[in-house]
Amino acid sequence: DEYGVREVHFEDDNLTLDTKRARRIFEGMIEKKLNLRWTTPNGVALWTLNKDLLRIMKMSGCYELCFGIESGDERVLTEVVQKPLDLTKIKALVREAKRMGIFTFGFFIVGFPGETEVERKKTFDYPWKVGLDDASFNIATPFPGTRLFEICREKGYLKNVDDLFSYVYWKANIQTEQIDPQALEKAVARHTLLFRVSLMFRNPAKFVSQYALLPFRDFRFFYSFLTNLLKKIFIPASQF
């Protein structure tokens, strides 16, 4: 109350990894009647969540959960991303979170070496399949020092080896027989825009509460975000 704090962002994506500790945190927020809204902008470990934990999270003030799903294809998720996630269980988890009034957001990554067009399409289709409220598609980025960077360097897949300023999630820095960087960037922008704007039609009330009623600076950011996506779709990459 002293500082007027009304919302908290848990940046730690391992917030619920120790479920007993997580429960103590959320139950403490309830007992102390903090009345804070909170979200997880960096995501949470999906495999740690269940109906009971979601209930306590909601009671403690959780209004949004971001899920780092990464891929909608089982092979890519297991062999490439190496994430212990069961795709068959996510739909029920998303449905339960939404039933409790928690806004659901998914993070996805495409453009991995060896990823096929069919596998990539599965990822683009996955948010629709499981009923997420919103989603963001990003491009696999081989940051120096990572295993992905070493694999790409060994195989000659790196498009901009020395230009570290190009290593951002919306630019394709991996080029293979299956990956056309410019086409991938446009596809990512198109699918992100399509899914994000579709919320206006899928659930107008939820779109208004999540975006249109935000403080001006946040809505301005959202408008700028959509404008940049449109530019990436319709303006040649050479003009950026």
CB burial class (10 A; 0-12, 13-18, 19+) of residue 165? exposed
The lowest-confidence range among 9-23, 91-105, 204-218 is 204-218
User: 22 near 46, Cβ under 8 Å?
Assistant: no
Residues spanned by the domain of 203: 63-239
Query: What is the residue type of 73?
Result: D
- Domain membership of residue 185 (yes or no) is yes
Residue 3 belongs to a domain: no
Give one DSSP letter per residue of 98-126, joined into a string: HHTT-EEEEEEEE--TT--HHHHHHHHHH
Q: What is the pLDDT of residues 10-69, one digit of tens each?
A: 999 999 999 999 999 999 999 999 999 999 999 999 999 999 999 999 999 999 999 999
How many structural domains is the chain composed of? 1
Position 145 scores a pLDDT of 87
> Is residue 25 one of the residues assigned to a domain?
no
Q: Cβ(45)–Cβ(19) under 8 Å?
A: no
User: Which tokens is 109 given?
Assistant: 């990554």
* Residue 202 within a domain: yes
User: What span, in angstroms and rounded, lies between the C-alpha atoms of 118 and 124?
Assistant: 10
Confidence of residue 111 (pLDDT cuts 50, 70, 90): very high
- What's the pLDDT at 235? 62
User: Tokens 């453009």 belong to which residue?
Assistant: 111
- Report the pLDDT value the prediction gives residue 238, as an integer from 0 to 100: 40
Q: How far is CA 71 from CA 50, 79, 82, 126, 219, in A?
A: 21, 11, 11, 8, 28
| Residue 106 belongs to a domain | yes
177 domain-assigned = yes
Please tell me the pTM assigned to this model.
0.84
pLDDT tier, 5 (very low <50, low <70, confident <90, very high otherwise): confident
Evaluate the CA torsion angle 163, 167, 172, 175 in order and state its sign.
Answer: positive
Of 19-28, 81-90, 125-134, 164-173, where does mean pLDDT reach its minimum? Answer: 164-173
Residue 28 inside a domain? The answer is no
Task: CATH number of the domain at 196, please.
Answer: 3.30.750.200
How do residues 226-240 score in pLDDT, each as one tens digit? 676 666 666 644 444
- The C-alpha torsion from 121 through 148 and 87 to 177, rounded to 10°, is 20
Strands 37-39 and 103-110: unpaired
Residue 45 near residue 13, CB atoms below 8 Å: yes
**Least confident range of 27-31, 105-109, 143-147:** 143-147
Which single residue is written with the structure tokens 């198109």?
190
Greatest Cα pair distance, the chain, in angstroms, is: 58
Residue with tokens 């530019």: 231
47, part of any domain: no
Burial code of 114-126, b = ≥16 C-beta within 10 A, e = fewer?
ebeeebbebbbeb
Residue 239: the pLDDT is 42
